[in-house]
Amino acid sequence: MLFDYYININPQPNGDHEVHKSDCGHLPLSPNAIYLGKFANCYDAISKAKERGYNTADGCYYCCKPCHKQ
């Protein structure tokens, strides 16, 4: 199953840009969220975010917990 993922273009206080699933209650409103694409897991979504230059991409604590580092 594939899910839609977005990245928050506004960094967190620690500098990370959080990656969210489309149904996350913490997903920022547009235009602060950029669509990354459909992925089977948060690891692939974070890889795509890093390809796009968001080197500090991290998974959201709530919707991408396996990928949340900080």
Give the pLDDT mean for 30-35.
96
Which runs of consecutive H residues, i.e. helices, occur in 15-70? 42-51
Name the pLDDT band for 4 (thresholds 50, 70, 90). very high
On the question of pLDDT at 6 being above 80, the answer is: yes
Paired residues of 3 in beta bridges: 39
Output the pTM of the full model.
Answer: 0.94
pLDDT given for residue 70 in this prediction:
72
Q: Is 19 left (phi over 0), alpha (psi -120 to 50) or beta?
A: beta
> In the predicted model, what is the mean pLDDT of the chain?
96
Give the pLDDT mean for 4-26.
97
Going by their DSSP bridges, the two strands 17-21 and 57-59 should be labelled as parallel
Q: State the Cα angle at 48 between 44 and 51, rounded to 5°.
A: 140
